[in-house]
């Protein structure tokens, strides 16, 4: 029979073996981040979405290869593909940005907190204990990692399928100068970074939406609808005063990266815009989540 | 703010939680001694889980103070919770991860846990709840009982000073319930304080050293089990065809008899000063034909029922 008496259980007695008396145990704040990345990229759903995104450049390249000769119409850079396979990646990103990418980002970002809440795992993470601030930072980081993986994947698959189906070589940029393949590869990575940056604001919105509910689908839908709404508003000339503040306003503004020398203006202004959304919706998510009773 | 009491693993003063109009927890003063196996009893909806959520910092109290392991909660949450293992409101897992991977995830969520020992600690926790054979199955394929075991394993990932187990026997078969009791016993023998809630008294009565009883948000009894048992109302049951006469005798002895059970049955609460043999003598002296006389009650179950009421009146 156990007794509260310290003498019977000296090794476990909290009075003599107090964590406060010894130096605070070593903190490993990044352990959960590693676990989160593993969680995101071990899910079948993540792979399904990445697979769907990887199909975009493949479909474009195959379609263009099968129907050469007609240069008119289609998304930006489409006509250039036949001249140079390296443009497949650019075209695929341009096609993915309005819908496919926000859709998948919305799913991941909307799932962040609400997904944990719907499984009930959130309470076990919090009593582990994961601080609430660390929790939402880690979940946000997981969503951003997905954005980066998704855009890099489109670029890489695009470059690969382009190299297989079309000639590759020095690329003529929008400014008319030619750069070699390596310089182009560098720009492709910059492009992936630019698109990832573009998704930061939407991810923050998804994170906030996710703190409002324990039904992940609701948060996902809200995020995707907002992504669509922002783009629709961006099309209305009557609202042009609003356009610079829409998080989707500079999603397609990566043309500057294809000039020589690279113009970083749009990169910078997009960064400011996205950062603004991250700050506002991050703060909303923070204030909502840190004061919330976790009842699920 | 009251001074911390080192002899108590959990102490609350006037702890309250009000949801809009409903007082889910209504000013309770819990005192859980260190080393105790503390049964936290009450019918469904009496505020047990709400209390546990507040103890663990999952939800905020609307009144009162909480100390866990001598530290104020939720202020000292980051220092306290690594020393607390918890099973709150049923187990919860990532259905697409294996049991083992789920435990890895939860262990990584504790910033003080050592990744070098994680593998062995997870394996021994799984072993302790008898789940080693199913460790690499996906959690969605687990039965309710297996999930419950995995939840217990999660609470045992590190040596703990306090275990908070909310309805640990839910969904377990009698065999599993027995195993949980043995597990609690062996943990208590290691010096861990165990705070275990249940709406099924019988399942945990055997392992508890202390208990508290909740009813509609209020703490209606608390203390060492022996004291609670002693406080339990005893009753005397008299079987006789002479109900009227017997009633008069019992009333004369200061009891308040009532008809209950059968046509020839009288029941009365038995205060400690009235001895059963006195009743027998008086009944016989009054020529009451006695078919049987039994003294019942004095069990925790009787106290539990007396305090919380019978039936299915879930607090609205």
pLDDT tens by residue, A220-271: 999 999 999 999 999 999 998 999 999 999 898 887 887 777 778 888 999 9
Nearest-CA distance from B148 to chain A in Å?
Answer: 14
pLDDT at A4 over 80: no
Q: Is B131 in the A-facing interface, judged by CB distances under 8 Å?
A: no
- Contact at 8 Å (CB) between B163 and B193? yes
Convert the pLDDT of each residue in A128-175 to its tens digit: 889 899 999 999 999 999 999 999 999 999 988 988 888 777 777 777
CA–CA separation, B141 and B263 (whole Å): 54
Minimal Cα distance from B78: which residue of A? A129
Mean pLDDT of B275-288: 87
SS3 B85: strand
Convert the pLDDT of each residue in A5-48 to its tens digit: 433 333 444 444 444 444 566 777 788 999 999 999 999 999 99
Minimal Cα distance from B93: which residue of A? A121
Convert the pLDDT of each residue in B158-191 to its tens digit: 999 999 999 888 878 888 888 888 889 988 998 8
Which tokens in the block code for residue B197?
């809630």
Q: Is B72 in the A-facing interface, judged by CB distances under 8 Å?
A: no
Q: Is B75 in the A-facing interface, judged by CB distances under 8 Å?
A: no
Mean pLDDT of B202-224: 86
pLDDT at A69 over 60: no
Residue with more model confidence, A173 or B257: B257
Residues of A in contact with B92 (CB under 8 A): 119-121, 123-124
What does the pLDDT read at residue B140?
92
User: What is the pLDDT of chain A when averaged over all its residues?
Assistant: 84
| Backbone φ, ψ for residue A57 (5° rounding) | -65, -35
Convert the pLDDT of each residue in B122-156 to its tens digit: 999 999 988 999 999 999 999 888 899 999 999 99
Nearest-CA distance from B150 to chain A in Å?
Answer: 12
Write out the residues of chain A at the interface with chain B, using a CB-CB cutoff of 8 A: 1-5, 8-9, 11-15, 19-20, 24-29, 31-32, 34-35, 39, 42-44, 119-121, 123-131, 134, 291, 293-295
What does the pLDDT read at residue A98?
92
Q: Shortest CA distance to B152 belongs to which of B198, B183, B112?
A: B183
Residues 6 or more apart in contact with residue A110 via CB below 8 angstroms: A206, A209, A210, A216, A217, A218, A219, A220, A221, A222, A223, A224
Highest mean pLDDT, choosing among A212-221, B291-300, B303-312? A212-221
Convert the pLDDT of each residue in B6-58 to its tens digit: 789 999 999 999 988 888 999 999 999 999 999 998 888 889 999 999 999 99
Where along chain A do its domains lie? 29-290
Q: Shortest CA distance to B159 belongs to which of B203, B200, B128, B201?
A: B128
Nearest-CA distance from B96 to chain A in Å?
Answer: 7
What does the pLDDT read at residue A8?
38
Verify whether the Cβ–Cβ distance A39 to B97 is below 8 Å: yes
The pTM (predicted TM-score) of the whole model is 0.84
Minimal Cα distance from A128: which residue of B? B110
What does the pLDDT read at residue A2?
40
Mean pLDDT of A174-195: 82
Residue A296: pLDDT band by 50, 70, 90 thresholds?
low
What does the pLDDT read at residue B245?
86
What does the pLDDT read at residue B312?
43
Convert the pLDDT of each residue in B70-87 to its tens digit: 999 888 999 999 999 999
Percentage with pLDDT > 70 across chain B? 94
Mean pLDDT of A67-96: 74
User: What phi-psi label fits residue B297: left (phi over 0), alpha (psi between -120 and 50 degrees) or beta?
Assistant: left
Which tokens in the block code for residue A233?
């508003």
What does the pLDDT read at residue A17?
42
Closest residue to B58, CB basis, from A28, A39, A126: A126
Closest residue to A293, CB basis, from B59, B97, B188: B59
Mean pLDDT of B213-235: 82
- Which of B57, B60, B99, B105 to mutate to test binding with chain A, by most A CBs within 10 Å of its CB? B105
Of the listed ranges A30-44, A87-101, B252-266, the least confidently predicted one is B252-266
Nearest-CA distance from A296 to chain B in Å?
Answer: 9
Convert the pLDDT of each residue in A267-283 to its tens digit: 899 999 999 999 999 99
Nearest-CA distance from A128 to chain B in Å?
Answer: 5
Closest residue to A129, CB basis, from B34, B88, B110: B110
Q: Shortest CA distance to B225 belongs to which of B249, B244, B247, B204?
A: B204
Total Cβ atoms within 10 A of residue B1: 7
What does the pLDDT read at residue B316?
38
Minimal Cα distance from B159: which residue of A? A12
User: What is the pLDDT of chain B when averaged over all its residues?
Assistant: 86
Verify whether the Cβ–Cβ distance A9 to B81 is below 8 Å: no
In total, the C-beta contacts within 8 angstroms joining chain A to chain B are: 135
Q: Is B316 in the A-facing interface, judged by CB distances under 8 Å?
A: no
What does the pLDDT read at residue A5?
41
What does the pLDDT read at residue B314?
45
């Amino acid at each position: 029979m156990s007794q509260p008496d310290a003498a019977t259980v000296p090794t476990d007695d909290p009075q003599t073996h107090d964590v406060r008396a010894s130096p605070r145990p070593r903190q490993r704040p990044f352990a959960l981040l590693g676990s989160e990345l593993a969680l995101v990229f071990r899910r079948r759903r993540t792979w399904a979405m990445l697979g769907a995104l990887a199909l975009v450049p493949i479909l474009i390249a195959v379609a263009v290869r099968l129907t050469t000769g007609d240069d008119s119409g289609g998304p930006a850079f489409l006509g250039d593909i036949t001249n140079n396979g390296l443009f497949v990646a650019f075209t695929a990103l341009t096609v993915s940005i309005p819908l496919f990418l926000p859709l998948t980002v919305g799913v991941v970002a909307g799932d962040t907190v609400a997904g944990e809440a719907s499984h009930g795992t959130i309470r076990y993470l919090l009593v582990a204990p994961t601080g609430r601030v660390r929790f939402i930072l880690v979940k946000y980081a997981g969503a951003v990692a997905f954005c980066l993986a998704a855009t890099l994947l489109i670029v890489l698959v695009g470059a690969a399928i382009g190299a297989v189906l079309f000639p590759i070589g020095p690329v003529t940029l929008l400014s008319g100068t030619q750069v070699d393949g390596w310089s182009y590869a560098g720009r492709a990575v910059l492009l992936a970074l630019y698109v990832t940056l573009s998704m930061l604001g939407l991810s923050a919105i998804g994170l906030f939406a996710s703190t409002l509910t324990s039904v992940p689908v609701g948060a996902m839908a809200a995020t995707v609808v907002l992504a669509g709404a922002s783009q629709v508003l961006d099309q209305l000339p009557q609202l042009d005063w609003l356009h610079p503040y829409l998080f989707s306003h500079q999603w397609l503004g990566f043309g500057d990266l294809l000039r020589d020398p690279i113009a970083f203006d749009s990169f910078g202004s997009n960064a400011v815009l996205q950062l603004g959304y991250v700050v506002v919706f991050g703060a909303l998510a923070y204030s909502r989540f840190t004061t919330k009773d976790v009842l699920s | 703010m009251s001074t911390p009491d080192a002899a108590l693993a959990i102490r609350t003063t006037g702890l309250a939680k009000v949801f809009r109009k409903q007082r889910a927890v209504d000013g309770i003063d819990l005192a859980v001694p260190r080393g105790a196996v503390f049964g936290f009893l009450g019918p469904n909806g009496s505020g047990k889980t709400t209390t546990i959520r507040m103890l663990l910092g999952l939800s905020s109290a609307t009144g009162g103070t909480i100390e866990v392991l001598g530290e104020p909660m939720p202020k000292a949450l980051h220092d306290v919770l690594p020393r607390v293992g918890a099973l709150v409101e049923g187990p919860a897992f990532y259905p697409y991860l294996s049991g083992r991977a789920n435990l890895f995830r939860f262990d990584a969520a504790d910033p003080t846990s050592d990744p070098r020992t994680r593998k062995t600690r997870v394996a021994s926790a799984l072993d302790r709840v008898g789940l080693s054979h199913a460790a690499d199955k996906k959690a969605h394929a687990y039965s309710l009982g297996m999930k419950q075991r995995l939840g217990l394993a999660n609470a045992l990932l590190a040596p703990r000073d306090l275990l908070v187990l909310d309805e640990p026997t839910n969904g377990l078969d009698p065999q599993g319930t027995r195993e949980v009791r043995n597990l609690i016993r062996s943990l208590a023998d290691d010096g861990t304080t165990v705070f275990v809630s249940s709406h099924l008294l019988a399942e945990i009565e055997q392992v508890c050293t202390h208990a508290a009883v909740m009813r509609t948000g209020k703490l209606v009894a608390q203390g060492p089990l022996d004291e609670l048992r002693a406080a339990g109302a005893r009753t005397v049951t008299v079987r006789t065809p002479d109900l009227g006469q017997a009633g008069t005798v019992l009333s004369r002895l200061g009891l308040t008899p009532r008809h209950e059970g059968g046509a020839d049955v009288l029941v009365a609460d038995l205060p400690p000063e009235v001895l059963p043999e006195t009743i027998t003598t008086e009944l016989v002296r009054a020529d009451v034909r006695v078919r049987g006389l039994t003294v019942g009650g004095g069990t925790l179950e009787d106290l539990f029922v007396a305090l919380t009421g019978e039936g299915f009146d879930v607090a609205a």
